[in-house]
Amino acid sequence: MPETVKAQIARLRRELDEHNYRYYVLDDPQIPDADYDRLFRELQQLEEQHPELITPDSPTQRVGGEPSEAFETVEHVVPMLSLGNCFSDEELADFDRRVKKGLDEEHVAYVAEPKLDGTAITVIYENGRLVRAATRGDGSTGEDITPNVRTIDAVPLKLRGKNIPPLLEVRGEAYMPIAGFRAFNERAVAAGEKVYVNPRNAAAGSLRQLDPRLTAERPLAAYFYGWGQVQGWDFPPTHIEVLGQLRDWGLPVSPLIERVEDVEGCLDFYARIGKQRPDLPYEIDGVVYKVDRLAWREELGFVARAPRWAIAHKFPAEEAMTRLNDVEFQVGRTGAVTPVARLEPVFVGGVTVSNATLHNMDEVERKDVHIGDTVVVRRAGDVIPEVARVIVDKRPHNARRVSMPTECPVCGSAVERVEGEAVARCTAGLTCRAQLHGALVHFVSRRALDIEGLGDKLLAQLIDAGRLKSPADIFTLTADELAALERMAEKSAQNVIDAIEASRETSLWRFLYALGIREVGESTAQALAAHFGTLEALLAAAEADLPTLHAEKAKDRCPALQAVPDVGTVVAAHICQFLHEPHNRQVIEALQAEGVHWPEVEVAQGPQVLEGKTFVLTGTLPTLTRDEAKAMIQAAGGKVSGSVSTKTDYVVAGEAAGSKLTKAQDLGVEILDEAGLQALLQ
Ligand code: 5U1
């Protein structure tokens, strides 16, 4: 009997899942990549012809969904802990002594694991199906990155094997293999796009893309090494057995993990992994030892947010000596003038470094840095290379002191350092090319006015051509003049103009955020919009606050602005100052004159009808965007939280609401649709 389409699809999925498992978990692929691709395409074609047979866990369904506006927050039911560190054999021996003393045992075995230099993730499977994935965040709450994690081929969408628990939360590290990282950066350079400094940043940045299609293009992988909530499964007695079971369920677990009998075994593992490190296809920054017996872990418990039963044994930060050829000063969006070391290129931590940060002048003085010095450059894990210290003995007689320029290196205006601040700033505002460029890059960015296609390079070209002197000039650009620029096709020019046109209609908070007021990030901008409702009300508050700007007691400064939730004295002063700067007022007026507009945000008059109520938004509402609904709730005195708990008063659910809705139902939280929310607001 010929195979039915349904059976054919099921067989292809089984085969693809099996090959994936052999590739990512067993590290033992059985078919060449081309054959895998052929099976994949066959399945894709069948599913295209029979869309009714598509299931979310089909191997073809890794990339899906539209880009989101922002990540939702996820509360970790079991906190994601951090690890204590040690850097020497003695410190490790101290750890082992503490463990044995705490357990009153003479012999404790450990599991030794390589410590991947990636980004921590937690992934929840319900009845074997991947339902949620999140970042670590602060350990208690992270960000929901489910669509992005689904794109990682190594992370199964569906578990395999027997006795799969109804609820299984696994934790591990998503990483970018070194070869993939290099290839990605090469492509980015060729396309004039942002490159990442190292694979760890690349992994973290890739998982924080709002558009999962972008994540899908990044070569990410993952290994799991732990767990969070688990229900309906009897744990075996040891960690190594749990890892074996995770592997059997189809989850990738590092094949380098070993059980060792004692601290000598740990040190031996550390030495062996250290030797292997240069040849590993991914970056590691140390090894982790964990007490193997789970019952003993319970006994040992935690200190602060780290377990007493595990420790990371870090490899030393990589350092190299080189010559400091010069110190230059870079000017950022807010005018901050930062010293940057120009170095004789040196190979450190796997990359050639020719620039390193010197942070600020206090640091330069503290480290006694002179131009011409021999310096030690350090590159540790994810951080930007820095000048760690100076070898003073090697200082040449003609070494020069570093001094902060009194004039901006870009525009020549005065540089000032406000007392009490570590940072010196160019005073020219947007007449300084560097500040203008930074401000425009911010102005067009996704969470601000969101003008797609108007990238760094194009903005720089337009500034240099004298066409952009302030954000409002963006709205006077024409398709013809863009098309006349180098490397700009007519179609792309028109797309940019369309994006500019669309950005004229925005929201108050995006507009405030786009202005680039110091310390005013997205959530402060949202709070300001919700509190004042209109730009005029905000300007009036800033006006009223002006006489108090320098009040002796910080709490007496800018009371009208400080009345906004989360706005403290420093932020209030920045807002007040910014809005009084005549040049900034001109920018605001010019933008409005160019037709940038937004709907008024309703501010509750009199009693705040939603005072003390906590809301969670989920799914797509029929007419309101998430941000609009959030602003309306906040304006009425309510709070919007990212996750459902017993403290939630209402869940506002739209189309395709996910696990938050289910959780609300389980907890008996009142569920509203958009109309229900509008009714409450009345
Ligand atoms: N391999 C490995 N990395 N790592 C990181 N195991 C491991 N365990 C961790 C962390 C933060 O934490 C648990 C011990 C809580």
Residue-level length of the chain: 682
Whether 106 maps to a domain, the answer reads: yes
pLDDT for 583-619, tens place per residue?
899 999 999 999 999 998 877 555 578 888 888 888 7
- Its domain, for residue 575, covers 508-593
Residues 6+ apart with CB under 8 A from 344: 322, 323, 325, 354
Residue 681 confidence class, pLDDT cut points 50, 70, 90: confident
Whether 379 maps to a domain, the answer reads: yes
Whether 70 maps to a domain, the answer reads: no
Nearest CA to ligand 1 atom 15: 81
Is residue 113 within 6 Å of ligand 1 at its C-beta?
Answer: yes
Position 231 pLDDT exceeds 90: yes
Interhelix angle 522-532/535-545, rounded to 10 degrees, is 90
Token pair in block for residue 260: 């060792």
| Range of weakest confidence among 61-70, 128-137, 536-545 | 61-70
Whether 63 maps to a domain, the answer reads: no
Tell me the CA–centroid distance for residue 110 and ligand 1, in Å.
Answer: 13
Whether 264 maps to a domain, the answer reads: yes
Is residue 310 within 6 Å of ligand 1 at its C-beta?
Answer: yes
Which CA distances in Å does 198 have to 70, 488, 637? 25, 31, 43
More confident residue, 84 or 379: 84
- Domain-terminating residue out of 442, 472, 503: 503
Determine the residue of 76, 80, 82, 83 to mutate for testing ligand 1's pocket, defined as the one with the most ligand atoms within 8 A of the Cβ atom. Answer: 83
- pLDDT value of position 271: 96
Residues 6+ apart with CB under 8 A from 476: 594
| Range of weakest confidence among 111-115, 275-279, 388-392, 630-634 | 630-634
Is residue 561 within 6 Å of ligand 1 at its C-beta?
Answer: no
CA 408-421-460 angle, to 5 degrees, is: 35
Position 381 pLDDT exceeds 80: no
Ligand 1 atom having least distance to the Cα of 257:
1
Q: What is the CATH number of the domain that holds 389?
A: 2.40.50.140
- pLDDT value of position 337: 93
- pLDDT value of position 532: 92
Whether 254 maps to a domain, the answer reads: yes
Tell me the CA–centroid distance for residue 155 and ligand 1, in Å.
Answer: 18
Whether 447 maps to a domain, the answer reads: yes
Residues acting as catalytic residues: 115
Residue with the two structure tokens 């940019």: 496
Ligand 1 atom having least distance to the Cα of 287:
1
What sign does the dihedral 99-102-105-106 (CA atoms) show? positive
Ligand 1 atom having least distance to the Cα of 310:
14
- pLDDT value of position 604: 54
Instruction: Tell whether 303 and 327 lie within a shared domain.
Output: no
3-class SS of residue 45: helix
Tell me the CA–centroid distance for residue 287 and ligand 1, in Å.
Answer: 9
Pairing assessment for the beta strands 310-314 and 85-86 based on DSSP bridges:
parallel
Instruction: Tell whether 519 and 483 lie within a shared domain.
Output: no
Instruction: Tell whether 561 and 676 lie within a shared domain.
Output: no
Instruction: Tell whether 134 and 258 lie within a shared domain.
Output: yes
Instruction: Tell whether 224 and 115 lie within a shared domain.
Output: yes
Q: How far apart are CA 196 and CA 179, in angstroms?
A: 13
Position 191 pLDDT exceeds 90: no
pLDDT for 296-330, tens place per residue?
999 999 887 789 999 999 988 778 899 999 999 99
Instruction: Tell whether 49 and 126 lie within a shared domain.
Output: no
More confident residue, 455 or 662: 455
**Average confidence (pLDDT) over 641-659:** 83
Instruction: Tell whether 166 and 249 lie within a shared domain.
Output: yes
Q: What is the CATH number of the domain that holds 669?
A: 3.40.50.10190
Is residue 112 within 6 Å of ligand 1 at its C-beta?
Answer: no
**Average confidence (pLDDT) over 437-447:** 93
3-class SS of residue 411: coil
Q: How many CA atoms lie within 13 A of 48 on its CB side?
A: 6
Instruction: Tell whether 171 and 235 lie within a shared domain.
Output: yes
Tell me the CA–centroid distance for residue 220 and ligand 1, in Å.
Answer: 19
Determine what percent of the chain is predicted with pLDDT higher than 90: 66
Position 675 pLDDT exceeds 90: no
Residue 245 confidence class, pLDDT cut points 50, 70, 90: very high
Q: How far apart are CA 512 and CA 631, in angstroms?
A: 14
Whether 486 maps to a domain, the answer reads: yes
- Domain-terminating residue out of 265, 291, 314: 314
Tell me the CA–centroid distance for residue 28 and ligand 1, in Å.
Answer: 26
- pLDDT value of position 552: 86
pTM over 0.85: no
Question: Which of 321, 337, 313 minimizes the C-alpha distance to 378?
Answer: 321
Nearest CA to ligand 1 atom 4: 115
Instruction: Tell whether 275 and 330 lie within a shared domain.
Output: no
Q: What is the CATH number of the domain that holds 261?
A: 3.30.470.30
- pLDDT value of position 419: 78
Instruction: Tell whether 138 and 275 lie within a shared domain.
Output: yes
- pLDDT value of position 640: 79
Question: How many domains does one find in the chain?
Answer: 6
Instruction: Tell whether 575 and 649 lie within a shared domain.
Output: no
Instruction: Tell whether 204 and 283 lie within a shared domain.
Output: yes
Question: Which of 62, 17, 63, 57 minimizes the C-alpha distance to 39?
Answer: 17
pLDDT for 22-79, tens place per residue?
999 998 888 888 899 999 999 999 999 999 999 988 999 998 777 888 899 999 999 9
Q: What is the CATH number of the domain that holds 23?
A: 1.10.287.610
- Cα maximum dimension of the chain: 91
Q: How confident is the prediction for the chain on average, in pLDDT?
A: 91
Q: What is the CATH number of the domain that holds 465?
A: 1.10.150.20
**Average confidence (pLDDT) over 103-116:** 96
Q: How far apart are CA 512 and CA 664, in angstroms?
A: 34
Show the beta-strand stretches assigned E in 257-405.
258-260, 284-291, 302-303, 306-307, 310-314, 318-331, 336-348, 351-357, 370-371, 374-379, 386-390, 400-401
Ligand 1 atom having least distance to the Cα of 223:
1
